[in-house]
Structure 1
Amino acid sequence: MAKTAMDLVQAAKAAIQEVSVSQAQQMLREDSIALDVREPVEFEAGHIADARHIPRGLLEFMVGNHPDFQDKTRSIVVYCKSGGRAALATATLQQLGYSNVVNVIGGYDAWQAGS
């Protein structure tokens, strides 16, 4: 039986760590990197201060060459609009060897509501 996009998101969420907005804010105060995986138009409309931007569709191809992501042990806080793309991106980063990656529950929508 074929899987749906939501099936893939749920499988990713089962394999990753998720944090609340307040936990993410604390992590960013402690030198974690914010990674926005939304599309360019979404990023340009607003984003977390100092966030790095790599769209989800290009993540596997760009992250290894990005200077801020050379240390695979550095803490990364991943977000998208509501959490689905970021869950997939977080799982992908783990598969690529990044060991300290979390997804923000509720994504940028929750961030805006909570900040």
Structure 2
Amino acid sequence: MDLQQKQWAEQLAEDPAAVILDVRTDAEVEEGMIPNAKQMDIYNSAAFIENVKQLDTSKNYYVYCRSGGRSAQACAILRSLGVENAYNLMGGFENWEGDKTV
């Protein structure tokens, strides 16, 4: 499900089963991350699929990339592998106005 930044952040803040996934590359992550995010580079597709298979399907996954395209694709992959709740951050990290780690 695609969510605007405000909705994504509000839902994340109130979700005790939330996990944040950053699907960007190592180079992109060096520019900063949303706090507490777990990186899973979608461009490394074999490792990405293996990592998704290890995820707890009872959790809710909040997914972002640079601009929202790869994270939308990641959400579709998560759902295809049994994760029911995957939320895409529309606009991605480049439009993120919340906290960031460097």
User: TM-score, normalized by length of structure 1?
Assistant: 0.74
Aligned equivalent of 2:9, options 25, 32, 35: 25
CA deviation string 1:44-95 (max 9, x = no partner):
2200000011000332122223xxx22x131111000001111110000000
Unaligned runs of 5+ in 1: 1-16
Distance 1:74 1:26 in 2: 17
Identity %: 33
Q: Post-superposition shift, 1:110?
A: 1.6
Which moves more between the two structures, 19-28 or 97-106?
Answer: 19-28
1:97 and 2:70 aligned: no
How well do the aligned residues superpose, as a CA RMSD in angstroms?
Answer: 1.3
Structure 1 residue 23: Cα displacement:
1.3
- The structure that has the greater radius of gyration is 1
Task: Say whether the 8 Å CA contact 1:59–1:89 is kept in structure 2.
Answer: no
> What is the rounded CA distance, in whole Å, between the counterparts of 1:23 and 1:73 in structure 2?
21
Task: Establish whether residue 47 from structure 1 lines up as the match of residue 47 from structure 2.
Answer: no
- Letter aligned with residue 70 of structure 2: R
Contact kept in structure 1, 2:52 and 2:81, CA below 8 Å? no
Is the helix fraction higher in 1 or 2? 1
In the TM superposition, 1:1-115 aligns within 5 A as 17-30=1-14, 31=16, 32-57=18-43, 58-65=47-54, 69-70=55-56, 72-111=57-96, 114-115=97-98
Q: List structure 1 segments (4+ residues) > 2 angstroms apart after TM superposition.
A: none
